[in-house]
């Protein structure tokens, strides 16, 4: 039992006020999608966005979901909020694909979504209303969520798979140790949990786990996304291990729609993160010593004279022409092609959004 005191009363009052405020915010359309880039680690170009929820409070500004999601899951607001965010994101995607046709978005589904009988029909309706291809949408689920009711999860995910949407296991490696479910569920991709990526450049055990996940995914024909990429050392290591996709603060924090659209308009990429190519001198002296070079030219001339004496059919070459020919041979020996480094492109300021990277749920 517990003794009820004033602080508990105040807390209940605040929770009730927050619940009423959330309901009103949903009606006023104050919840909006933010977009965190998912980057191809091979080309360092934009591949897609993960859709994250933000509450644009009229007085408090942008509020991350960590402050209200738990309450929304308890009072049943999480479903209409998620569908509202997904609907907005799909509408954006329809227009953005004019700039990048292969662009995709991924959205996180909470465990409570699977208890809703209309989950499939609502998402199918949103896809149809938005006129996007189903394959442009990726649904992210954690291992724990799909294993809570595995049979129902298989049934629903099979329907989404037939529709054409992609299925991604989020926070992979932190849940069930039994990997047999990967054969049971129609999974397209694995997302390596940030806890393994953080510090992997210094921790050999974390690096080994990441390597194992990538190897497993490749063996099963699955795409791998590393989340929480925060520095170039992790980027280089993930590229070397063969990880296809990555997201994290190294590339960008979650962006409001207008900043995400600006990134698309300017065809922004992250190739500036690669090591600069080593510049070479515009002209490099041959490793052959000058004396040997002169001897080589002399031998060439002697060889030409011998050929002319042995083969009477060959006409005699004028001394001036022979000298020019020797100079050409020497130039070919000494000449080195010039290699120029590409100039780096102007970068977008991606530090404008200073909000924590929190999941939709």
Q: What is the pLDDT of residues 237-265, one digit of tens each?
A: 999 999 999 999 999 999 999 999 999 99
Average pLDDT over residues 98-116: 88
Distance between start and end Cα atoms, the chain:
31
Cβ atoms of 44 and 271 within 8 Å: the answer is yes
- What pLDDT, on the 0 to 100 scale, is given for residue 140? 94
Largest Cα separation within the chain, whole Å, is: 120
- What pLDDT, on the 0 to 100 scale, is given for residue 112? 75
How far is it, in rounded angstroms, from Cα 19 to Cα 171?
29
pLDDT(307) > 80: no
Q: How far is CA 245 from the centre of its chain?
A: 4
Q: Domain residue spans in the chain? A: 14-272, 295-307+314-334
Q: Phi, psi (5° rounding) for residue 127?
A: -60, -45
- How does DSSP assign 97-111, residue by residue? TTT-TT-EEEEE--G
pLDDT tier, 91 (very low <50, low <70, confident <90, very high otherwise):
very high
* Percentage of the chain modeled with pLDDT above 70: 73
- What pLDDT, on the 0 to 100 scale, is given for residue 188? 95
- What pLDDT, on the 0 to 100 scale, is given for residue 281? 56
- What pLDDT, on the 0 to 100 scale, is given for residue 323? 46
pLDDT tier, 92 (very low <50, low <70, confident <90, very high otherwise):
very high
CATH 3.90.100.10 fits 14-272, yes or no: no
Q: What is the bridge-based pairing of β-strands 104-108 and 137-142?
A: parallel
* Percentage of the chain modeled with pLDDT above 90: 48
Higher pLDDT, 15 or 231: 231
pLDDT(295) > 70: no
pTM check: above 0.85: no
The size of the chain, in residues, is 361
How far is it, in rounded angstroms, from Cα 112 to Cα 73?
7
Average pLDDT over residues 332-357: 42
Average pLDDT over residues 138-161: 87
């Amino acid at each position: 039992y517990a003794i009820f005191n004033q602080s508990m009363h105040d807390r209940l009052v605040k929770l009730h006020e927050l619940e009423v405020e959330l309901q009103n915010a949903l009606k006023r359309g104050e919840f909006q999608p933010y977009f965190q880039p998912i980057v191809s680690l091979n080309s360092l170009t934009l591949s897609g966005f993960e859709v994250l929820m933000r509450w644009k409070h009229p007085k408090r500004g942008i509020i991350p979901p960590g402050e209200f999601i738990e309450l929304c899951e308890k009072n049943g607001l999480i479903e209409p909020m998620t569908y509202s965010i997904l609907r907005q994101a799909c509408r954006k995607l329809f227009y953005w694909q004019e700039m990048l046709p292969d662009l995709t978005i991924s959205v996180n589904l909470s465990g409570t979504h699977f208890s809703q009988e209309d989950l499939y029909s609502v998402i199918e309706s949103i896809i149809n209303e938005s006129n996007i291809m189903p394959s442009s949408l990726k649904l992210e689920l954690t291992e724990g969520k799909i294993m809570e009711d595995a049979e129902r999860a298989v049934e629903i995910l099979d329907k989404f798979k037939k529709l054409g949407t992609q299925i991604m296991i989020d926070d992979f490696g932190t849940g069930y140790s039994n990997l047999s479910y990967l054969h049971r569920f129609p999974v397209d991709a694995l997302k390596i949990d940030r806890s393994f990526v953080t510090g992997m450049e210094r921790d050999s055990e974390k690096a080994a786990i990441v390597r194992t996940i990538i190897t497993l995914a490749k063996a099963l024909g699955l795409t791998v996304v590393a989340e929480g990429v925060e520095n170039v050392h992790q980027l280089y290591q993930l590229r070397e291990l063969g990880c296809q996709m990555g997201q994290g603060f190294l590339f960008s924090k979650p962006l409001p729609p207008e900043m995400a659209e600006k990134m698309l308009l300017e065809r922004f990429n992250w190739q500036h993160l690669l090591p600069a190519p080593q510049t070479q001198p515009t002209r490099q002296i041959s490793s052959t010593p000058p004396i040997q070079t002169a001897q080589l030219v002399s031998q060439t001339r002697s060889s030409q004279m011998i050929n002319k004496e042995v083969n009477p059919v060959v006409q005699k070459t004028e001394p001036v022409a022979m000298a020019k020919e020797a100079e050409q041979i020497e130039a070919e020996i000494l000449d080195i092609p010039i290699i120029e480094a590409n100039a780096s492109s102007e970068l977008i300021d991606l530090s404008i959004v200073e909000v924590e990277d929190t999941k939709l749920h």
